[in-house]
Amino acid sequence: MEKTNTLAAAIALAFGLAACGGYAVPTDRMIASEAAARSAREVGAANAPQAALHLKLAQEEIAQAKSLMNDGNNKRADYVLIRAKADAELALALAKQADAEAAAKKAADQLNAAGNQ
């Protein structure tokens, strides 16, 4: 009878652990998402309206993922971090595009000014 109780306790413990800790903490995705957001900020995403919007979304998603991780919902946090990284990378690309367009406009204006002289 004692073996049966021990076996039942071991099985219950195994199921309990599997239910609570079945998904690993998405630390790598958190690091990648935060790095992408930092890169977007450094390039000046806050100065381009569309880039700023996606950067804000990424920052909100990172905060949401941290909250989910604190609650033990690592699987959902992982999915939110995938989206956060994508939004941060889009913010970075849009900021670079805005910089390139501004540089092209400046060059065109200089060319036009030189042609009018």
pLDDT in tens, 22-61: 799 999 999 999 999 999 999 999 999 999 999 999 999 9
Q: Report if residue 2 sits inside a domain.
A: no
Number of compact structural domains in the chain:
1
Q: Report if residue 65 sits inside a domain.
A: yes
Please state, in angstroms and rounded to a whole number, the distance separating the CA atoms of residues 8 and 14: 10
Residues 91-104 have a mean pLDDT of 94
Q: Report if residue 13 sits inside a domain.
A: no
Q: Report if residue 81 sits inside a domain.
A: yes
Q: Report if residue 85 sits inside a domain.
A: yes
Q: Report if residue 51 sits inside a domain.
A: yes
Q: What is the pTM of this model?
A: 0.76
Q: In which domain, by residue range, is 62 found?
A: 25-115
Please state, in angstroms and rounded to a whole number, the distance separating the CA atoms of residues 27 and 8: 34
Nearest to 78 by CA among 28, 8, 5: 28
